[in-house]
Amino acid sequence: MSALFSPIILRSLTLRNRVGVSPMCQYSSDNGFASDWHLVHLGAFATGGAGLVITEATAVTPEGRISPQDLGIWDDAHIPMLRRITDFCRAQGAVMGVQLAHAGRKASTRRPWERPGGAVPVSEGGWDNVMAPSAVPFSPDYPSPHALSLDGIAHVIASFRAGAIRALEAGFQVVELHAAHGYLLHEFMSPIANHRTDAYGGSFENRIRLTLEVTDAVRAVWPTELPLIVRISATDWAEGGWNLEESVQLSVLLKARGVDLIDCSSGGLASHQQITIGPGYQVPFARRIRADAGIATAAVGLITDAVQAEQIVADGSADMVFLARELLRNPRWPLMAAHTLGASIAWPPQYERARLR
């Protein structure tokens, strides 16, 4: 029996397999609204056999978008189209998750394919109220952020809470909090971006305070029977930054607050990061956090091969694997991987005649 294609139980949910779709920004929204692009993009992963499909980073405030074209969930008007997407994907057997996010000092920036990159000026649809723990930009061509006041921090927490309430109404079954890749929650956690001297800066306990408070606020309104995930960058890959030991400590505290799984990515906080990239290069983070924090983990990062993914789950390195670019190349990767591994998996009846025998 395939480990990768065995079910996994997260609270009241049973996922049909352990293949998850990582959040992948599409930069295809107008004022935060999902569109037919999102329906087809996410729907393809559901029909392709993934167990869990997670939306791209979905901003909890307008100023929390990475780009002006990011998906949003700060307005009730965003709910109907999101509901259309979750209804379709759930009907195909996938569990639907939403990644709630705030971009922090990496907000108001251009889409990756636009040149030149960097900050989007107000005259072109950007905004000047970019927020961060401290007034330290990510790089010279990124916006110069304002340090969040205590009232601003309270507003962020309330916005994540409101986003979770809307997510439930929109039919999502899993919430993932984005505390990775150099966005707001990660910025507070890392000494590279956080130079505060108040209760939200300095010590480890202070730097993780916002992430814990957001977690508590969301868990309080997210149904007990539904899972909560947190994506973290396990290391900044930069001297003096956030590190794996701190990630283990944080994961212990998140588990105690009702988090069910840690999505283990890395990097994105420091423009001077030094990353050694290779197949499965982030899997050791998932293995270490799973073992030392006693919490379920998902492994990510250049996982492309069915046998590779099977081994990660089978040897206990992680409970799930989350794929991204490989699924953009082939949204039906789970169906093909199951065939490679000799696992039984349901195909959409419309595609059954294409099943490999």
Which residues are catalytically annotated? 183
Angle at 275 between CA 244 and CA 71, to 5 degrees: 85
Q: How far is CA 264 from the centre of its chain?
A: 10
CA distance 4 to 314: 7
CB contact set of 194 (below 8 Å; sequence gap of 6+): 133, 134, 187, 188, 200, 201, 207
CB neighbourhood size of 75 (10 A)? 13
Half-sphere exposure of 344 (CA within 13 A, CB side): 1
Token digits of residue 164: 């979770």
What is the maximal distance between C-alpha atoms in the chain?
A: 63
Residue pointed to by tokens 């989007």: 120
CB–CB of 188/148 below 8 Å? no
Closest CA to 98 of 35, 31, 26, 178: 178
Q: What is the CA radius of gyration of the chain?
A: 19
CA distance 147 to 45: 39
CA distance 91 to 212: 34
CB contact set of 102 (below 8 Å; sequence gap of 6+): 59, 60, 61, 64, 156, 159, 160, 178, 183, 184, 185
Three-state DSSP class for residue 190: coil
Residue pointed to by tokens 């409101």: 162
